[in-house]
Amino acid sequence: MIDETHPNWETFHDTLESKRLLSQQRQELIDYQSKLDHAQTLIDQGGLTDDDFAELDDLMTNDVPDAVRSRLPASDPAYSAPVNTGSPSSNGVEYDGPEFAGLNPSRIGLN
């Protein structure tokens, strides 16, 4: 049995949960920044059609992490856009959330 003079789980729970949430938020920000960087590269290369650009814009608007969304002005389209419920990607470039406007993310290199 563990001696009662040692700290118990409850002593560390809040700190560990805060750390977990901050790590998750950080990963979401890194993933989103990677998507933004990739989208900027595609735009700079000029290989997107108007339809591809519109679909990419919709995807990026709907995939804004909460940490970013909370800092946007209410007039920004992403402020009130549906929240992506996909899980964070493991490497920062894979998209595993729902498709928006029929966009196939692999077609434009987001996975």
DSSP string computed for 25-70: HHHHHHHHHHHHHHHHHHHHHT---HHHHHHHHHHHHHT--HHHHT
**pTM for this one?**
0.60
Structure confidence at residue 93 (pLDDT): 37
Structure confidence at residue 82 (pLDDT): 67
- Whether residue 10 lies inside any domain: the answer is no
- Whether residue 2 lies inside any domain: the answer is no
- Whether residue 89 lies inside any domain: the answer is yes
Range 3-28 average pLDDT: 88
- Whether residue 55 lies inside any domain: the answer is yes
Task: Give residue-wise pLDDT tens across range 69-99.
Answer: 888 777 777 777 766 544 443 333 344 444 4
pLDDT greater than 90 at residue 46: no
Total structural domains within the chain? 1
- Whether residue 19 lies inside any domain: the answer is no
Task: Give residue-wise pLDDT tens across range 47-62.
Answer: 778 888 888 888 788 8
- Whether residue 60 lies inside any domain: the answer is yes
Range of the domain at 38: 25-108
Structure confidence at residue 71 (pLDDT): 82
Contact 65, 76 (CB under 8 A): no
- Whether residue 18 lies inside any domain: the answer is no
Name the average pLDDT for the chain.
73
pLDDT greater than 80 at residue 43: yes
